[in-house]
Chains A and B, each alone.
Chain A
Amino acid sequence: GNSVTQMEGPVTLSEEAFLTINCTYTATGYPSLFWYVQYPGEGLQLLLKATKADDKGSNKGFEATYRKETTSFHLEKGSVQVSDSAVYFCALATNTGNQFYFGTGTSLTVIP
């Protein structure tokens, strides 16, 4: 079946630290992969995406590379800010049907 596994949080970092949030997936076929961010009391916002192997998605200093050989899509940022504090969700969409599969989310808190 299809599923997404994210590293468990919560994650607490100091401002300007390096961030990695691990995401691995199981999927049939060739999925597209996404990272979403959710701020308190709000919906999910698309952060970045990658639609084929070796693609790198990037946005607002965040990056993730679609690694088919390791079935991974880890989120990274070189220097986090307090404003990056949020919950981050990894997700996949398969190439059949119209459903998305979300990870359980990783809460990030950045302290000054």
Chain B
Amino acid sequence: DGGITQSPKYLFRKEGQNVTLSCEQNLNHDAMYWYRQDPGQGLRLIYYSQIVNDFQKGDIAEGYSVSREKKESFPLTVTSAQKNPTAFYLCASRAPGTGGPLNNQPQHFGDGTRLSIL
């Protein structure tokens, strides 16, 4: 089945360490997104990419980095500069609009990665 796969499901980071969260999709979607979700709160956009080799900062990009070398993959690196990285991270993708306005397509989400600090 087509979908979005995030790995690992749980991840632990030591102080001063960079960690990379994986996001792979086989939906043939152009756009991909990374969100951060803190307990009891909504989603905050970290980065998004509309095409390969291009990405834009979201609302909370500081301390994070991404790459988009392949259409299927959009890994997120949480760097040591991110001082409060403990959160639930969600990856999403979106198909382009079909024969009409761009905006009629929903985002599709993976099952998330929970990152904790040791």
Contact = CB atoms under 8 A, between A and B. Distances in A.
Interface of A: 30-32, 34, 36, 41-46, 49, 51, 89, 91, 93-96, 98-100, 102-105, 107
Interface in B31-47: 31, 33, 40-43, 45
Nearest to B42: A104
Given A98-B48, A102-B43, A105-B41, A42 B103 contact: no
A102 B31 contact: no
Interface residues on B, range: 20 to 34
B93 to A, nearest CB: 11
B111 A98 contact: no
Interface of B: 4, 6, 31, 33, 40-43, 45, 48, 50, 58, 90, 92, 94, 101-112, 114
A51 B103 contact: yes
B83 to A, nearest CB: 23
B42 A45 contact: no
Instruction: Give the one of A44, A51, A94, A103 with max B CB within 10 A.
Output: A44
Contacts of A93: 103, 105
Contacts of B48: 98-99
B109 A45 contact: yes
A9 B6 CA distance: 29
A46 B105 CA distance: 11
A95 B103 contact: yes
